């Protein structure tokens, strides 16, 4: 498949249409620019991505602000630096009322929709602002005990939902954001989707390219390809072993900061260069889209439009390209990393500073800091000026999170635990000096994810001896022990993590899980309240706390917890399910039906939800609908003892005693200790004699 003109200018021959063009933004997560053939890669070809590059403008020197999924996408959509918007790690939440590309486009008459491939961008983290429809069905009720951050869906599934929405909305101006996550580890693409039985990063990339080829065909068939503004990019790259880093997030070298950016302009919008080589960043994407529409830029935007550069008007030679990672500081006891690029030079602020000439050394193999110290110091000065300028102008009015955490925790009785912290992000070891240990830690986590818990634990124990101050190590040891059912040991490790990091939300949460397993319910409640004082949008904590209150028959608090979950994620399965069960207990039939049907909308194959719905119908006296719901529960889970038992009760009411007895027996086959089913069967057999 090929589009347009492969030569120096993209084609645009008709006059500009007064109607608003469709806008499609595609982010292929973890896509390293130099692994695309249109960016010069000489290995595996990416023909479908290349096709868009041939008919658009390829920006060759574009950088992400931070090599992590959520913070990078926040910078992309808000055109703000991480130090300004406050998001520096996955799992944080974008504050309400953010000005995003989606909010601006919706205010200008666009229908807006997002289709995301990973839980990391779930709507509960705030990126959904401005979208009429935000499609990311990452309900966690089927993933209890599994890292929620690993929840993802295939690119073809993302594109499938997106194409259906676009087909239904293409008669109006629309903005569609597609996020594909298949390049992100773990590489678990089904074998039926791999080409030539290959595995790993390039196999995943080949799959992404095919998925996008199908999407281009859909757009072409509907006449949308020519009239749309299509933006293709990524949030960050992948190190793939460069600088001894296997993945991303730890360092800020070009292998993880450099990303592709290709813009295919609508037909009739004029002539554009085929390639722009001046440095730019993801901050510049939203301003470029808005300027292409003739729309004014919000005052909060910190990037600049690339439209002039694409029309051969150039970018200021002193453009400052900022990058950072606080990952090694937050998770591995190191200093933060920050960088600034101007022209060919890139400076990295670290305990051991670095300077690279990217024109001569694009792989950043030769640190020239000592040879060109004056250049490095000038860039450092620009870096500090940039941070202070935008931080003062736009930083959110938030207290230090660790101070906030301490205040909340002290109110819950954590007076004896100290939480030492440095006021400077630049203190701590140089991340370069701990890369071997960091990679060992990531290996241990990967082993645990694949079920090799004993092997993972041995690695972590060795690391703990070497780096006793690193909180992530006892945290992971605690999770391993938890998965192995060793709850006292898990609680001990998690408490050790809290001694060095009082505000560690996941340590409090997982300690609560272990305490519940040990039947120390009051202590678990305290930990869950600590979580919610520090991180009020932690829906898993609301879920666990809600189930505790339900077991204690404190239905007011139960309802508060699950309603709070719905404020965070309106389609949350677990919240609707439990609110439906609660309404059934309280004989609020219509309310219960509404919630259970919404739960089934999120998970149409949930046997638990069908069983609960059947129980509601049965108690309401609607036997036929109850019977149908129980049959559906059994269809999705043939050995569901409660569903068989409940169906037996319905059939008994309907005088179908033989079938009722059969389902009571099936309930006992599924659970030989199910006394209610035993009693019902015995009573039925006595009455039939």
Give the DSSP H or E segment for 62.
strand 57-63
Band of pLDDT at residue 313, cut at 50, 70 and 90: confident
Model pLDDT for residues 393-448, shown as the tens digit of each residue: 444 444 344 455 555 555 555 544 444 444 577 778 999 999 999 999 999 999 99
Task: Please tell me the predicted confidence (pLDDT) of residue 199.
Answer: 76
Band of pLDDT at residue 503, cut at 50, 70 and 90: confident
Beta bridge partners of 25: 177, 231
Model pLDDT for residues 333-350, shown as the tens digit of each residue: 899 999 999 999 999 999
Distance CA(548)–CA(63), nearest Å, equals 46
Distance CA(472)–CA(331), nearest Å, equals 6
First to last CA, the chain: 75
In the block, tokens 């504050």 appear at 95
Give the DSSP H or E segment for 260.
strand 258-264
| DSSP-assigned states of every residue in 217-237 | HHHHHTT-TTTSEEEEE-S--
**Cβ(453)–Cβ(484) under 8 Å?**
yes
Distance CA(173)–CA(228), nearest Å, equals 10
Instruction: Give, in degrees to the nearest 5, the angle at Cα 447 between 446 and 451.
Output: 115
pLDDT average, residue stretch 559-586: 95
Contacts by 354-359, CB closer than 8 A, 24 or more apart: 355/379, 358/254
Distance CA(378)–CA(390), nearest Å, equals 19
Task: Please tell me the predicted confidence (pLDDT) of residue 420.
Answer: 43
For the four alpha carbons of 529, 531, 533 and 536, in that order, the dihedral sign comes to negative
What fold is seen in the domain 401-519? 1.25.40
Distance CA(374)–CA(353), nearest Å, equals 13
Delimit the domains of the chain by residue range.
Answer: 23-141+155-313, 401-519
CB burial readout 374-400, b (16+ within 10 A) else e = ebbeebbebbeebbeebeeebeeeeee
Q: What is the 3-state secondary structure of 522-551?
A: HHHHHHHHHHHHHCCCCHHHHHHHHHHHHH
Q: What 8-state DSSP symbol labels residue 423? A: S
Strands 354-357 and 57-63: unpaired
Closest among 257, 426, 421 to 337, alpha carbons compared = 426
**Cβ(212)–Cβ(202) under 8 Å?**
no
Band of pLDDT at residue 291, cut at 50, 70 and 90: very high
| DSSP-assigned states of every residue in 282-334 | GGGHHHHHHHHTTPPPPTT--S---HHHHTT----TT--EEEEE-HHHHHHSB
Residue 300, number of CB atoms within 10 A of its CB: 15
Distance CA(232)–CA(25), nearest Å, equals 6
Q: Which two tokens stand for residue 190?
A: 């089904």
User: Cα-flanking dihedrals φ and ψ of residue 261, to 5°?
Assistant: -145, 115
Model pLDDT for residues 275-286, shown as the tens digit of each residue: 999 999 999 999
Closest among 560, 623, 686, 510 to 148, alpha carbons compared = 510
Distance CA(507)–CA(114), nearest Å, equals 32
399 to each of 248, 443, 504, how far by Cα in Å?
Answer: 29, 35, 16
Closest among 239, 235, 244, 292 to 23, alpha carbons compared = 292
16-25, 82-91, 491-500, 601-610: which has the minimum mean pLDDT? 16-25
Provide the greatest CA pair distance for the chain: 100
Model pLDDT for residues 354-401, shown as the tens digit of each residue: 999 999 999 999 999 999 999 999 999 999 999 888 864 444 444 344
Q: Which two tokens stand for residue 422?
A: 């440095």
* Range of 199-208, 223-232, 680-689 with top mean pLDDT: 223-232
Residue 452, number of CB atoms within 10 A of its CB: 15
Percent of all residues in the chain with a pLDDT value above 90, rounded to a whole number: 79
**Cβ(405)–Cβ(534) under 8 Å?**
yes
Distance CA(570)–CA(655), nearest Å, equals 41
Percent of all residues in the chain with a pLDDT value above 70, rounded to a whole number: 89
Closest among 383, 309, 316 to 346, alpha carbons compared = 383
126 to each of 92, 139, 236, 595, 661, how far by Cα in Å?
Answer: 9, 16, 20, 24, 51
Model pLDDT for residues 618-648, shown as the tens digit of each residue: 999 999 999 999 999 999 999 999 999 999 9
Distance CA(169)–CA(133), nearest Å, equals 12
Average pLDDT, the chain: 90
For the four alpha carbons of 118, 539, 86 and 347, in that order, the dihedral sign comes to negative
**Cβ(660)–Cβ(652) under 8 Å?**
yes
Strands 258-264 and 275-276: unpaired
Task: Please tell me the predicted confidence (pLDDT) of residue 597.
Answer: 97
Task: Please tell me the predicted confidence (pLDDT) of residue 149.
Answer: 58
Distance CA(545)–CA(558), nearest Å, equals 8
User: Cα-flanking dihedrals φ and ψ of residue 644, to 5°?
Assistant: -65, -45
Distance CA(551)–CA(546), nearest Å, equals 9
* pTM for the full predicted model: 0.88
Band of pLDDT at residue 187, cut at 50, 70 and 90: confident
Strands 229-233 and 57-63: unpaired
Distance CA(184)–CA(199), nearest Å, equals 13
- 23-141+155-313 carries CATH number 3.40.720.10: yes
């Amino acid at each position: 498949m090929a589009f347009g003109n492969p030569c120096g200018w993209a084609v645009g021959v008709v006059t500009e249409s007064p109607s608003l063009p469709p806008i499609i933004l595609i982010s292929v997560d973890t896509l390293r620019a130099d692994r695309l053939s249109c960016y010069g890669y000489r290995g595996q070809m990416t023909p479908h991505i290349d096709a868009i590059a041939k008919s658009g403008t390829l920006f060759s020197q574009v950088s992400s602000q931070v090599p992590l999924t959520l913070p990078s996408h926040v910078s992309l959509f808000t055109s703000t630096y991480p130090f300004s918007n406050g998001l520096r790690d996955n799992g944080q939440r974008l504050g309400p009322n953010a000005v995003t590309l989606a909010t601006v486009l919706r205010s200008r008459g666009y229908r807006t929709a997002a289709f995301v491939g990973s839980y990391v961008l779930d709507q509960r983290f705030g990126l959904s602002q401005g979208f009429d429809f935000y499609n990311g069905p990452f309900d966690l009720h089927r993933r209890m005990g599994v890292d929620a951050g690993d929840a993802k869906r295939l690119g073809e599934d993302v594109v499938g939902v997106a194409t259906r929405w676009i087909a239904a909305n293409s008669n109006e101006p629309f903005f569609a954001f597609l996020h594909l996550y298949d390049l992100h580890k773990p590489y678990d693409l089904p074998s039926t989707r791999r080409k030539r039985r290959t595995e790993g990063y390039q196999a995943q990339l080949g799959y992404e390219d095919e998925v996008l080829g199908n999407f281009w065909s859909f757009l072409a068939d509907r006449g949308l390809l020519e009239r749309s503004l299509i933006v293709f990019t990524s949030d960050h790259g992948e190190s793939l072993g460069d600088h001894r880093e296997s993945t991303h997030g730890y360092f800020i070298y070009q292998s993880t900061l450099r990303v592709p950016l290709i813009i295919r302009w609508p037909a009739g919008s004029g002539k554009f260069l085929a390639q722009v080589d001046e440095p730019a960043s993801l901050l510049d994407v939203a301003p470029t889209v808005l300027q292409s529409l003739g729309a004014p830029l919000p005052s909060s935007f910190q990037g600049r439009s690339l439209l002039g550069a694409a029309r051969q008007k150039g970018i200021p030679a002193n453009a400052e390209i900022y990058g950072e990672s606080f990952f090694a500081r937050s998770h591995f006891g190191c200093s933060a990393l920050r960088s600034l690029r101007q022209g060919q030079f890139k400076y990295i602020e670290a305990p051991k500073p670095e300077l690279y000439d990217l024109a001569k050394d694009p792989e950043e193999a030769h640190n020239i800091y000592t040879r060109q110290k004056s250049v490095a110091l000038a860039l450092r000065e620009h870096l500090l000026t940039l941070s202070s300028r935008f931080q003062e102008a736009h930083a959110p009015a938030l207290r230090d999170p660790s101070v906030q955490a301490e205040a909340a925790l002290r109110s819950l009785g954590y007076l004896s635990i100290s939480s030492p912290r440095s006021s400077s992000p630049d203190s701590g070891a140089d991340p370069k000096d701990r890369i071997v240990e960091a990679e060992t830690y990531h290996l241990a986590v990967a082993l645990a994810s694949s079920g090799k818990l004993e092997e993972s634990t041995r690695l972590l124990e060795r690391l703990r001896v070497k780096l006793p101050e690193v909180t992530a190590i006892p945290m992971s040891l605690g999770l391993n022990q938890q998965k192995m059912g060793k709850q006292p040991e898990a609680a001990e490790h998690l408490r050790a993590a809290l001694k060095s990091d009082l505000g560690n939300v996941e340590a409090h949460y997982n300690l609560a899980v272990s305490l519940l397993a040990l039947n120390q319910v009051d202590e678990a409640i305290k930990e869950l309240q600590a979580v919610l004082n520090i991180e009020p949008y932690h829906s898993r904590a609301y879920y666990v706390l809600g189930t505790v209150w339900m077991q204690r028959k404190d239905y007011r608090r139960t309802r508060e917890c699950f309603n709070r979950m719905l404020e965070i994620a309106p389609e949350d399965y677990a919240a609707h399910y439990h609110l439906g069960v609660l309404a059934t207990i309280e004989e609020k039939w219509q309310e219960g039906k509404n919630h259970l049907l919404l739960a089934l909308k999120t998970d149409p194959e949930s046997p638990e939800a069908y069983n609960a719905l059947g129980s509601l119908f049965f108690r309401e006296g609607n036997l036929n609908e109850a019977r149908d719901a129980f049959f559906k529960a059994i269809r999705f889970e043939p050995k569901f003892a409660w569903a068989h038992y409940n169906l037996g009760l319905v059939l008994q009411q309907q005088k179908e005693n033989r079938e009722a007895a059969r389902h009571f027996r099936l309930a006992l086959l599924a659970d030989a200790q199910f006394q209610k089913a035993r009693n019902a069967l015995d009573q039925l057999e006595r009455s039939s004699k």
